[in-house]
Amino acid sequence: MDGRNFYDVTKWKTGDPYQDIGAVMNSIIADIKIRQTDSDENEGGKPGAVIYLPVGDYRLATQVVIDISYLKIMGSGHGFTSSSIRFNTPEDELENWHEIWPGGSRILVDLPAASDEEERSGAAFYVKRDGEPRISSVEFENFCIDGLHFVDDGTKKTSGENTYKNGKTGIYVESAQDSFRITGMGFVYLEHGIVIYHADALAIHDNFIAECGSCIELRGWGQASKITDNLMGAGYKGYSIYAQNFGGLLIATNNIFPRGMSSVHFENVMRSTITGNRFHSFYPGMLVFCGKCSDNMIASNHFFRDYEPWKPMLACDNGQDDGYGILNVSGNYNSIMANHISETVKKDDIKPKGTVPVIIHVVSGVGNFISSNHIVAMAETSVKREKEDEGCYSAQVEALLASDSLAPLKVTTVLIEKEARQNTVLDSGSEAEVVMDRTENAFRATPTV
């Protein structure tokens, strides 16, 4: 498997891949450009290449700059492990650990922390090409990008390793691009996992993107792309999925776990689809549509808004009150259909005190269609989850065993603000549970006994 266009980083003539994989990759890319110069040789001429990372630890001290199409960077292992659990384990206990770092084909991102203004400089992989055509079919497959450490953010809310700040990004695509693929990858301890501007026909599929500030950010504008079948979970300051000025985005079949300021945050997104996902979060605002979000569908998703069970993160949240809504929607002609939306909170944690929590909150807009959603709301009344400070991975099971301590919680299942009109709410709450101007919006209550 070592044809002319196959490069094993451990066998390249220039540089030391263990000391600086970035310099090695840039040297390889330069070689490809020297060898592939003719754009129309016999109906071909620039097929691209594979850069292969065998399993190993590769320090990245120089940013990789990609400006050629058809480049596939691939490893043999996504290598995720929880650095979050590790960094919240006392040093002396770590001595007995089998291993303490992620693995697989692993990039150790050792770039200086970038400021927000210069965040591109903190990216391990930076894609930029001017001119025509748009850069196409770059593929990232089955390796690990590890940001190594988070750093103190000055807030004292939690330890430096829990801040989700380090100015590092895994993959940063600045130029408009076509038919990129990111598959089977692991991302961990990066402030930004993936940042892509101007995406078309992008596929982000079957990755593991967790313990990152934000996981996926699609910025600028974009169209006709898919984020499917990923395991993801952002930090409390960031987004698991963010999209801006997008049309035709498909977000499906993902399992998105806490924390995430939002699981999905759309700004001016239209004709996009959120379906078949499982969302789990610790705060209100799991899904937010802001700006002009129109003609989107949210159907057949499972939302579970839980409470924070883990001691190191108890002081952190996304700042939203319980009146904000699990779903907070501004925009027109969106559909919210056949979703299961569940909330379990500790009664004393509701803020401000006395608030009736809101589940679906339509802030503004016309023509939204909210139909056949099942809302389940519970208060944990007495029993604390045992072991809740031992990490979230057993919390679900504890919750199951403790479920006798749950009591139904009164909520507003749907709140339509005065600014919003001509919306339709069907079978998504009883007369008492739905708050809206029934002269301006259509309503049918879920029948009750």
| CB count in 10 Å sphere of residue 175 | 16
Of 171 and 176, nearer to a copy of itself (C-beta) is 176
Of 1 and 117, nearer to a copy of itself (C-beta) is 1
Buried b (16+ CB within 10 A) or exposed e, 118-134: ebebbbbbbbebeeeee
Of 155 and 422, nearer to a copy of itself (C-beta) is 422
Q: Tell me: does residue 85 bind a copy of itself (CB under 8 A).
A: yes
Contact in structure between 75 and 105 (CB atoms under 8 Å) = yes
Using CB under 8 A as the binding rule, the residues of this chain from 268 to 297 that contact a copy of itself are 268, 270-273, 275-278, 280, 292, 294-297
Using CB under 8 A as the binding rule, the residues of this chain from 235 to 264 that contact a copy of itself are 245-250, 252-255, 257
Contact in structure between 200 and 178 (CB atoms under 8 Å) = yes
Of 157 and 273, nearer to a copy of itself (C-beta) is 273
Site string for a copy of itself, 57-76 (x = CB under 8 A): x-x--------xxx-x-x-x
Of 116 and 404, nearer to a copy of itself (C-beta) is 404
| Beta pairing class for 442-444 and 434-435 | unpaired
Q: Tell me: does residue 435 bind a copy of itself (CB under 8 A).
A: no
Of 100 and 432, nearer to a copy of itself (C-beta) is 100
- Which of 13, 90, 92, 99 contacts a copy of itself by CB under 8 A? 99
Using CB under 8 A as the binding rule, the residues of this chain from 102 to 131 that contact a copy of itself are 102-106, 108, 129, 131
| Burial class of residue 308 in the structure, from the number of CB atoms within 10 Å of its CB (0-12 exposed, 13-18 middle, 19+ buried) | buried
Of 39 and 154, nearer to a copy of itself (C-beta) is 39
Displacement of CA 106 from its chain's centroid (Å):
20
d(CA 206, CA 199): 18
Give the contacts of 226 (CB within 8 A, at least 6 positions apart): 202, 203, 204, 205, 249, 250, 251, 252
Least distance CB 120 / a copy of itself (angstroms): 21
Using CB under 8 A as the binding rule, the residues of this chain from 203 to 242 that contact a copy of itself are 203, 205-206, 208, 210, 221-226, 228-229, 231
d(CA 304, CA 260): 13
Q: Please provide the size of the chain in residues.
A: 449
Q: By rule CB under 8 A, what count of residues binds a copy of itself?
A: 152
Determine the interface stretch with a copy of itself among 6-14, 156-164, 321-329, 356-364 (rule: CB under 8 A). Answer: 6-14
Least distance CB 146 / a copy of itself (angstroms): 9
Using CB under 8 A as the binding rule, the residues of this chain from 28 to 57 that contact a copy of itself are 39-40, 42-50, 52, 54-57
Site string for a copy of itself, 383-412 (x = CB under 8 A): ----------xxxxx-xx--x---------
- Which of 157, 302, 346, 351 contacts a copy of itself by CB under 8 A? 302
Determine the interface stretch with a copy of itself among 135-143, 155-163, 165-173, 352-360 (rule: CB under 8 A). Answer: 135-143
d(CA 367, CA 335): 9
d(CA 352, CA 348): 10
Determine the interface stretch with a copy of itself among 116-124, 282-290, 321-329, 364-372 (rule: CB under 8 A). Answer: 364-372
Using CB under 8 A as the binding rule, the residues of this chain from 177 to 196 that contact a copy of itself are 178-179, 181, 183-184, 186
Of 166 and 245, nearer to a copy of itself (C-beta) is 245
